[in-house]
Amino acid sequence: MIDEINVLMRGWLHYFRHAKMKMKLVKLLSWLRRRLRCFRLKQGKRNIGVARLLKGLGVPKWRSWLLALSSKGWLTKSGSPQSHEAMNLSWFTKIGLFDLSANYCLQLMKPPST
């Protein structure tokens, strides 16, 4: 799934490379990360699966169970501090998510080729 998302984001970045939209890209990437956190939490299916996932990603046991036993929805759980601690920016880099805002800044620095 990450590979498919990366292809789309590279295409968007190439298409909008001349537009001034750094903040829009930051917001888009923030939304995308939250949706990916939601998707990953849903893969745990049950409370014990979510707790094991978070514990395996470095969240203390009691805090992972606090989120797993929450009656909130998946999207709300994906915005919690526990899920941000477990699935932080380095986790997204490790799984290979393309960083739109960083690569957009690199595109601006490149001299135009003729």
For 54-90, write each residue's pLDDT tens digit. 999 999 999 999 999 999 999 999 999 999 999 999 9
Kindly state the tokens that stand for 56. Answer: 């395996």
What does the domain layout of the chain look like in residue ranges? 2-109
Residue 113 has pLDDT above 70, yes or no: no
79 three-class SS: coil
Burial tier of 83 (Cβ tally within 10 Å: 0-12, 13-18, 19+): buried
Q: What is the pLDDT of residue 111?
A: 61
Give the residue-averaged pLDDT of 27-43.
Answer: 94
Rounded distance between C-alpha atoms, residue 51 and residue 14, angstroms: 39
Work out the end-to-end distance of the chain between its first and last CA atoms, rounded to an integer number of angstroms.
36
Rounded distance between C-alpha atoms, residue 26 and residue 68, angstroms: 29
